[in-house]
A and B are shown apart, each in its own frame.
Chain A
Amino acid sequence: MKIAVCVKRVPDTEARIKVAGDGKSIEESGVKFVLNPFDEYAVEESLKLKEQAGGGEIVVISLGTDANQETMRTALAMGADRGILLKTDVAAPDTLAVAKALAAELKEGEYDVVLFGKLAVDDGTHAVGAMVAELMDLPCVSSISKLEVADGKGTAEREIEGGVEIVEFALPAVLTTEKGLNEPRYPALRGIMMAKKKPLETKEVSVEVSGVEVTGLAHPSERQEGRILGEGPDAVPALIDALKNEAKVL
């Protein structure tokens, strides 16, 4: 089974994000960058699929600058076989432009399964996987929390409001992964050592510049610090009164 896992380099979720001097980007110095948390589920699922199939190849693909190599090595350390960096200098390209560049590469690879994290925790667009599927005319199930694949077919579950959708599909397919699908393994020391020697190819790609323009980034307005109404159960009547008569939400 040949599997592609598309990954993104993002700021750690615990990082404090500061708007840079230009007012249109973020200050990157001092920010720790990691493999997008949702992509970890995609990498883990690819390893499970390969183990289940009794063989195959897992290719990690990422779009961005040379800095992405470190992120890709994390996936290689978890067990992926090789990497392809689609190198571009376009900062924060539009989702459709990213999808087009990835789809062009993925078409070459003839993959049985293409995996993405359901969203990247930086821009949170939740879009690229489904766009790639549309551009490649492949079936796609997004935000999967359970997956079974056998005999060229699959069944996936995806969480919806107050329930779970059961979706059946044929391979090749694009799948995007939700938390809960699996427990991503930690790279072992041996894996980290081996990852340094795994092939990581760089391809220059041109990415369209979209018509969407970021005109400004700002920090959300600080919430006014509220008040402590008291200690213990005795403070409850004051809370009920405030919610009913002041905030008018009860």
Chain B
Amino acid sequence: MKNRYLVGGPITPLLISELMTLGNDDAGAGAVSIFIGRVRDDEVSGKRVKAIEYSAYNDMADKEAEEIVKTVKAAFSDVRRVIIVHSTGVVNAGEASLFILVTSGHRDHSTRACRHTLEMIKERLPVWKKELYL
């Protein structure tokens, strides 16, 4: 089964634009909050990060992402849609590796739920990273 929440390589601008259309059929969603996480070119011990290679426990990631979506919807009653996409494989510095989109009727729940989704991803999504240096 294809994993709905993981994508190989960076989350490209084209994919982001496609993901952003997913809630368009819901005219009751007056608020859309988006978080995009990108790979930073940090300097570690004098070496510059050029990319991060992400790996995941795919089967468990799928299950956990579904649970995160359920939990966020239960915690924020005005939320209508939660979309999570995380990269696996190599993502270069400056490219996106995480995309979160939350729609709700009004702005309060979409903004708070988007942040909550991010924190839950960090806590629960079985994903690991390995820095690749210049």
Q: Judge: A and B partners, yes or no.
A: no
